[in-house]
Chain A
Amino acid sequence: MSSRTFSTGGIHPDAKKLTSAKAIEPALLPEQAVFPLSQHIGAPSVPCVNKGDKVLVGTLIAKPAGQMSACIHSSVSGTVARIDSVTDSSGQRRPAIFIDVEGDEWEPSIDRSDSLVVNVNMAKDVIIDRIRDAGIVGMGGACFPTHVKLCPPSGCKIDTLIINAVECEPYLTADHSLMLDSPDQIIVGIRILMKTLDVESAVIGIEENKADAIELLRGKVRMVSGIEVMPLAMKYPQGGEKQLIEAVTGRRVPPPPALPASVGCVVVNVGTAFAVYEAVAKNKPLIERVVTVTGDSVSNPCNLKVRLGTSVGRLIDQAGGLPQDTSKIIAGGPMMGRPLLGTDVPVVKGTSGVLILSGKLAARKEERNCIRCAKCVEACPMGLEPYKIATAGELGNWNVAEESWVMSCIECGCCQSTCPSRRPLLDWVRLAKNNVGRIIRERQSGK
């Protein structure tokens, strides 16, 4: 029997998982840690420390500004050097807190022991408060605050929790290495989430190329009722929320603004489940994460456990330094990651990888006429017509773009990476999406 997957579109990029067999190593502590105030969707957090303040590992340094915002904690101990701006992975200068590192002293409330907490007897509200106070956001890259996800709109009956362990982006192995490293903690985290959502069943969706993780987790969940490990056929972008829900349950989330909750599902990344365990059972806020540092010319590609705020350059040094033929540094994977302007960019909550591409791989080729080969239409996992939306974007025909469902685009990049004419399809689609989104907001506020 062939494994399940989603039905519309999708591509099969070369997986290039250079680091799948590598255990997680601790990253070196930075000399200065930088915490951008925008590490989540929603409004930037508000600093609650001042220049010169002493902080410990786990000290709250910025408070959420609104429902969709999140807490930020210091991942290092030391002194607040300044509150300034830093160029983050978006390429923009954004406000950030700079902390000079002195020693490594932790907040005493954090349980740093290795002992596994198996039973968590807390009320739902208390758990959600802990998750919010720990500053947990979706760690797959979307950075949606997890406590919001755990309070689905009333009227939506949630019956399935889906754990996203797909990691369909080429090169990245952060989730894979975490599953091999801490399977027990992840399963306790999943049980905490199930309890919070009041669901009887959880499904861990993993792509088949991670056979060792599938086997390990299957062994662990044998004794746990309600959790199933489901191997999925390899296909990008299976880690997309809607694609994963369809692959696992066969249900299709309606077009925006419908949420996954409308088909009874909540999807949480496996790294987030681990962070939930640490927050709830160990009282440890989100201060570190696994980052894959990789690339074809990197001498020592590795999976590192990194304190948030560490600069990307420091991780690259630990992986053997920046290769001579480097032409592009990417935060995230090669399909959806963001190009970095330099190596000073700090690791944030959503940074799953640092990918270094060499000249040949990174350069775009000259754009040619669309030859109407329809490969983009075939590849689009949302059933859109990328060639048409891109042309509408190029010409500024926002009406055509809106009628062609541009707002459903998940920006996975399948269209552009298959186009034989090398059209920058996604660039134009994004432009159209931004403009149509603005027009829709204006229309709604004008009512």
Chain B
Amino acid sequence: MSQKLLISTAPHIHCGDTIERNMHLVILALLPALIASFIIFGIGALVVTVTSVVSCMLFEWLISRFLLKREKCTLGDGSAVITGLLLAFNLPSGMPLYQIVMGSLVAIGIGKMVFGGLGNNPFNPALVGRVFMLISFPSRMTSWPVPHQMMAYSDAVTAATPLGLVGYQNDSLPSYLDMFLGNTGGSLGETCALALLIGFAILLAFKVISWHIPVTIMLTVAVLTGIMWLVNPSVYVDPLTHLLSGGLMLGSIFMATDYVTSPMTHKGMVWYGIGIGFLTVVIRLFGSYPEGMSFAILIMNAIVPLINNWCRPKHFGETAK
């Protein structure tokens, strides 16, 4: 026999799944929202997104090449692109470029690479970057351009978001249809619920994520805000407005479902989703910020290791008599 044989233990076949496949599918699922953001916020949305993605990729490369001195760069896995996209989606379309670059550095550097790169980060990197920017640049982070100013960037006319109006001018809220299509002020990727739901369908169809986290977050928010609305509709807005406004769709579909920072079992995912939904409602209704999704996800990220210990899979036969 002339050939040399490979010796490795079973299993000898693989389903073919790779990190890249999953990441590329997430990018694909984010594309509808990207297109929607361009239609709604114009050129500014594109400038912010490109800046964020390019700087996230650049920082990942610089850090792994010169600080960690890794021979193989993990840039190809696509996770830096996703972090860049998600960070941009969480920003107003008029953000100054240098602030975006700083946010990207924090997201990639402090959010991910200090822990050893993809797989080791306890917190969602894009949210780490976003919260850093919210605290550091509060006025720019809450200057929401009004939709349909195609050529406007930093000079765009700004106005309040639907959630910003809640409690002050409940009667001037946009219609459900406008919120569903995204014709409202807000972070550039979060306003169009339709595009985000198309992305959700893509993720489910290719089995990138399961339904558990997004659906439990949305249900929890709907139930809790529904109770408050029934108690006092003159102060609290209806659950549908809550579901369609702010970062709820974007956060529950794309941010909370991040593999690395979410629980390992379906049972754990349900508790994690309930936790995020609960914290979001508490912050939205009683906190000083109009929006609570980012903080809720980051707080629950911190609890994920505990959830993994509490919600272990049911061991075969364990409950048999």
Contacts and interface: CB of A to CB of B under 8 A. Distances in A.
Interface of A: 8, 11, 13-14, 91, 170, 242, 251-255, 258, 263, 313, 322, 326-330, 332, 334-343, 355, 357, 361-365, 368-375, 377, 380-385, 387, 405, 408, 411, 413-414, 416-422, 426-427, 430
Interface stretch (B28-36, B154-162, B218-226, B258-266): B258-266
A372 B21 CA distance: 15
Interface string B1-22: 1010111111111110111011
B126 to A, nearest CB: 15
B315 interface: yes
Contact of A251 (B13, B21, B320): B320
Given A328-B6, A377-B313, A322 B1 contact: yes
A426 B11 CA distance: 8
Given A369-B117, A421-B119, A363 B6 contact: yes
Contact of B10 (A322, A338, A380): A338
A413 B8 CA distance: 13
A170 B317 CA distance: 26
13 contacts: A13-B15, A328-B5, A332-B10, A334-B10, A357-B12, A372-B259, A374-B263, A377-B313, A383-B315, A405-B315, A416-B11, A426-B9, A430-B9
Given A371-B118, A426-B9, A427-B9, A417 B320 contact: no
Contacts of A341: 5, 7
* Most chain A CB inside 10 Å of its own CB: which residue of B14, B120, B263: B14
B312 interface: yes
Nearest to A363: B6
Given A338-B10, A342-B5, A371 B259 contact: yes
Nearest to A253: B317
A107 B116 CA distance: 68
Interface string B232-265: 0000000000000000000000000001111111
B264 A374 contact: yes
Given A11-B15, A374-B264, A408-B316, A340 B117 contact: no
Q: Is the interface of A mostly helix, strand, loop or mixed?
A: loop
A194 B129 CA distance: 68
Contacts of B69: none
Given A327-B6, A377-B313, 18 more contacts: A254-B318, A258-B317, A326-B3, A328-B6, A330-B10, A330-B12, A336-B10, A341-B5, A355-B12, A368-B119, A369-B119, A371-B118, A382-B316, A384-B313, A405-B315, A411-B10, A416-B14, A417-B15
Contacts of B119: 368-372, 421
B13 A417 contact: yes
Contacts of B315: 255, 382-384, 405, 408
Contacts of B15: 11, 13, 417-418
B1 A373 contact: no
Contacts of B120: 369
Nearest to B313: A383
Contacts of B117: 369
**Chief secondary structure at chain B's binding surface:** loop
B320 A252 contact: yes
B-side interface size class? 35 or more
Interface string B90-131: 000000000000000000000000001111100000000000
Contact of A252 (B5, B77, B317): B317
Contacts of B260: 371-372
Contacts of A342: 1, 5
A370 B308 CA distance: 15
B259 A335 contact: no
Contacts of B8: 328, 339, 362, 364
A313 B3 CA distance: 13
Closest 6 CB pairs between A and B?
A413-B11, A369-B119, A373-B259, A420-B17, A252-B317, A334-B13
Given A372-B259, A374-B265, A335 B313 contact: no
A315 to B, nearest CB: 14
A63 B146 CA distance: 88
Interface centre among B12, B119, B313, B315 (most CB of A within 10 A): B12
A420 B11 contact: no
Contact of B318 (A255, A362, A377, A426): A255
A383 B320 contact: no
A235 to B, nearest CB: 14
A334 B12 contact: yes
A340 B13 CA distance: 16
Contacts of A357: 12-13
Contact of A375 (B17, B77, B316): B17
A418 B13 CA distance: 10
A426 B12 contact: no
A382 B17 CA distance: 22
A444 B19 CA distance: 43
Contacts of A340: 5
Contacts of B6: 327-328, 339, 362-363
Contacts of B10: 330, 332, 334-339, 411, 413, 426
A417 B14 contact: yes
Contacts of B319: 252
A262 to B, nearest CB: 9
Contact of B5 (A251, A332, A339, A365): A339
Contacts of B116: 369
Contacts of B18: 365, 420, 422
B316 A381 contact: yes
Nearest to A404: B312
Contacts of A427: 9
A275 to B, nearest CB: 25
